[in-house]
Structure 1
């Protein structure tokens, strides 16, 4: 990856955890690549054994010193990841949370009809998991730090077929604001990153997603779709000390898509 000012290693000495790499098209991978290019150390997780074969070569490419499984629906796995970080590093400078999930029947159905178990599972993985990781990361951010999660325009406006995930992302964005207020006195910033539509594996579960991509490219003032490297570069800037007074924001990286009716 060629990143402006990468040679300067502006994040040298920074250590962080990136959760949500599924393959080389993942937003989390764009972030991992950017942070590595700027000199940061990156701990990486993978969902399960099936995902491991796709993620492990990427972790090796960025020389990840920590590589562990993490499925939020498996008890104690997130705690095990933070225990390893504590043992190996004893500190943390940034956290990137890029995971979301809704059962297929809950995502495909109307919000009005959402079953309780589907709603709770959606909220657990898509919202509460970030809150839990922040709780575990807080004591490791002894000198301050930055926490990021991924959201989408469907949290703010009704996007066809986004359904229950829009509800979860709205809760996630609200959690970001409250957490930023709570953690700010410790020098910890918290942001929701809202990229435009991206052709990721997660997005493939949304019906008629290709049509959404066409609409986004046509509607965005930049007349261009965002890429994972665009997201990575922006998140890397926000993790730098130069952005220390920016917190609690939903940052749109979408070519201006969200400003146009």
Structure 2
């Protein structure tokens, strides 16, 4: 089947593949199917065995460790992009983290340390990636991150990640405005609830999935393939004049109060 968009020759860096069922894997699959060249990261040695088989299936050219909490690892990653490819056309940021004790508690009870760590990994790392990608996108490019509608509405049990994702969405708009003159676009994709390993850390997430499936206008949950289709379009030349958006892929969930 002919892909909807052509990414032949475009170089993309995918950050956040946890396993074959992660949102980042769904996006990477779409990028691959559309002809892109890919590089990807794994968090650490413990995660590598889960990521490497997915990367091999997708024809990822190279893998690298990247824990944004470790000083120098993110910078080393972009140095490798420069040495391997000489430039970059698009990037997907699909990582988030909050300490369990803060994630499972009330927002008003969150610790300063927990909030700071959640913001650093889930939001500020996107700004760091944008800054490092900027000189590699001399002909323009696209930066994507992943959010959730709990940034706009109070979602039971989403807790601390709500304010953190709200910050990420605001950061995306500023990135789009500041890097737009260089032809670099930025978007936050907002999928509906998807059963991923990362989402399983949210307390009673299975209940959220059940409610979403029953109440969204389309009466079905979205998949990682649905997210990948949007991601591929946004990084393609077909999306070259779209930037600074927060785009839902949620079966219409964002329409509901």
- Residue 241 of structure 2: aligned partner: 245
Name the structure 1 match of 2:17.
Answer: 21
CA contact (8 A) 1:203 1:209 kept: yes
Partners of 1:9 and 1:39 within 8 A in 2: no
Structure 1-normalised TM-score?
Answer: 0.96
Pairs within 5 Å for 1:60-71: 60-71=56-67
The answer as to 2:2 corresponding to 1:5 is yes
1:232 aligns with 2:228: yes
Unaligned runs of 5+ in 2: none
Question: Runs of 4+ in structure 1 displaced over 3 angstroms?
Answer: none
Aligned match of 1:221: 217
Q: CA deviation at 1:9?
A: 6.8
Cα distance in structure 2, aligned partners of 1:214 and 1:164? 22
Equivalent in 25, 39, 59 of residue 43 of structure 1: 39
SS in 2 for 1:250: strand
Q: Report the Cα offset of residue 145 of structure 1.
A: 0.6
CA offsets 1:124-160 (integer angstroms, 9 cap, x no match): 0000000000100011011111100000000000001
Q: Which residue of 1 aligns with 2:48?
A: 52
For the structure 1 residues 89 and 213, does the alpha-carbon distance in structure 2 shift closer, same or farther, using more than 3 Å as the test?
Answer: same
- RMSD (Å), alpha carbons: 1.0
Structure 1 position 72 matched with structure 2 position 56: no
Structure 1 residues not aligned, in runs of 5+? none
Asked whether the equivalents of residues 86 and 140 of structure 1 are also in contact (C-alpha less than 8 Å), the reply is yes
TM value normalised by structure 2:
0.98
> What are the equivalent positions in structure 2 for 1:104-123 lying under 5 Å apart?
104-123=100-119
